[in-house]
Amino acid sequence: MGTNNTQKKSPRKNWHRAYIGARLKMNGTNTAKLSRDHGYPGDALKNAYVQPWPKAEKIIASAIGVTPEEIWPERYEGVK
């Protein structure tokens, strides 16, 4: 009897917002500072945590040193 050795690849999950915040803090910034530095009011970039906003995602990812696709893989699934 043969066995099926193929494993389904588990989908990657978006980073938790607390982890994103911690990574920003480790790099000496936060969403409020990034918002101000890029001409947005208050803590506007925090909206990218809960809804797609490609421009904000790029700003946050750049500050951390990764791509938006790494932080929010669920948003970019199947997008090339």
User: What CA–CA distance (Å, rounded) separates 78 from 39?
Assistant: 31
Residues 67, 72, 74, 75, CA torsion sign: negative
Domains of the chain: 25-76 (1.10.260.40)
Q: How many other CB atoms are found less than 10 A from the CB of residue 39?
A: 7
pLDDT class of 80 with cuts at 50, 70, 90:
low
Q: What is the pLDDT of residues 32-59, one digit of tens each?
A: 999 999 999 999 999 999 999 999 999 9
**% the chain with pLDDT above 90:** 80
Structure tokens at 1: 């009897």
For residue 78, the model assigns a pLDDT of 77
The answer to whether the CB of 34 falls within 8 A of the CB of 45 is yes
